Structure 1
Amino acid sequence: MSSVRGGDPAAFAVLVRRYGGIARRTAAVLGAGADTDDVVQEAFVKAYRALGTFQDGAPFRPWLLRIVANETRNTRRAAGRRAVREMAHLPPLVEPLEDRQADLEVFRTRVEALPEHQRLVIACRFLLDLDETQTAQVLGISRGTVKSRTHRALARLRDTITRPEVTR
């Protein structure tokens, strides 16, 4: 890491190759959609510029993924403002699934319906397979907040799955 902090572009390229895949998955899972590659590129640029703030001995992955999460959030907000200005709807994050994968579509829809703070925790914990500490670092919240948001989100998902449909 010291060679990266010293400005060695080859050393930083190693980090890009090592963490590019997880950065891309994180951006996609958190909702970057078609902007995933742009989000990841901008996140690596910001990470490179912020290497001076990176604490020696700290794990690089959660630090980088927090930058990716912030950049994804900024991109989604900008897209939302743009959509409102243009009076257009944003395309869904995932195309509808067919046949035996219909349950996954229902689940995806229910996860997307969660409040953003709960959806992000669920995405980090269960789609990106981050532990509570890493999720807290990525989202910039405390570990206790990760626990409570995870609990509430899972309870909300459980309620929507087990609650009988009301018919009229």
Structure 2
Amino acid sequence: MREGTLEGGRTLTVVDEAAVIARVRSGEPEAYAVLVRAYTQVALRAAVACGAGADAEDVVQSAFFKAYRSLGRFRDGSAFRPWLLRIVANETRNTVRSAVRMRALAGREAMLLGAGEPLIPDSADPAAAAVAEERRGRLLAALDELGEEQRQVVVHRYLLELDETETAQALGWPRGTVKSRLNRALKKLERLLPGEAPGAAVDAVDGVGGGEKCG
């Protein structure tokens, strides 16, 4: 079980999380700040990995708010982190879809108005464009060759550093499904990245953005 890290290096355990959540539920909303401080960075990484791009901070803020509003439905004894990351992934998906719709609308308006400036295509990947290192570029290209479910499980297991149980919770899959899809994904990455250990390669990427990566 990986834990959230607070300022000063102290970490949160599931027991700590349960105590904080109990305080919030009992009428101490300010206690929620403990969870926000512990998990903001991993939530931002998740948002970027799922394609939030420049909207990552807004996505995370919205996800924390929705998690706060849903604490009454949070299952006692569960880990907060994978539950939060599932909310982040869903919020990112909604944000990306809204952005695609807005770009499509802008494109139609531009055509009607006779505007000559080209629009940024939906397939543009600002995060990938910013990755200069050849190794990272090769990995991003390899990840794009994976199916949606395989890409999700690789991102959650390696980029977000969740264990199998946490990945299963975050994605809403049985643990056995996580294991089998991860195994197939890594075998495909081995073919796409000869001479590169897939797990180590994914660890080298700080963020994978652009597009609807965590669908």
What TM bracket, shorter-length normalisation? 0.7 to 0.9
TM-score scaled by length of structure 1: 0.85
Please name the residue that 1:166 is paired with.
none
Specify whether residues 23 and 7 from structure 1 end up closer, same or farther in structure 2 by C-alpha distance, changes over 3 A only. Answer: farther
SS in 2 for 1:95: helix
Partner of 2:83: 63
- 1:116 counterpart letter in structure 2: E
Shift, 1:26, TM fit: 1.3
Asked if residue 113 in structure 1 is aligned to residue 145 in structure 2, the reply is yes
- Matches of 1:84 and 1:145 in 2, distance apart? 36
**1:105-144 C-alpha deviation (Å, 9 max, x unpaired):** 1111211332222111111111111111101111111111
Q: Helix, strand or coil for the counterpart of 1:117?
A: helix
Give 1:80 shift: 2.9
Structure possessing the higher relative contact order (Cα contacts under 8 Å, 6 or more residues apart): 2
Answer yes or no: is the 8 Å Cα contact 1:24–1:40 preserved in 2: yes
1:54 corresponds to which of 38, 55, 74: 74
Query: Which residue of 28, 44, 48 maps to 1:28?
Result: 48
Matches within 5 A, 1:144-163: 144-162=176-194
Corresponding residue for 1:77? 97
SS of match in other structure, 2:183: helix
Q: Which moved more, 1:33-42 or 1:5-14?
A: 5-14
> Which whole-Å CA distance do the structure 1 matches of 2:96 and 2:79 have between them?
27
Runs of 4+ in 1 over 4 A off after TM superposition: none
The alpha carbon displacement at 1:96 in A equals: 4.4
Structure 2 matches for 1:83-122, cutoff 5 A? 83-87=103-107, 88-90=120-122, 91-92=124-125, 93-98=127-132, 101-122=133-154
Query: Which structure 1 segments of 5+ residues have no match?
Result: 163-168
CA, structure 1 residues 55+97, in 2 after alignment: closer, same or farther (shift >3 Å)? closer
**Residue 38 (1) aligns with residue 58 (2):** yes
Gaps of 5+ in 2: 1-20, 108-119, 195-215
- For residues 62 and 161 of structure 1, the distance between their equivalents in structure 2, rounded to whole angstroms, comes to 29
Please state which structure has a larger fraction of its residues in helix: 1
User: Cα–Cα, structure 1 residues 110 and 14, in superposed 2: closer, same or farther, change >3 Å?
Assistant: same
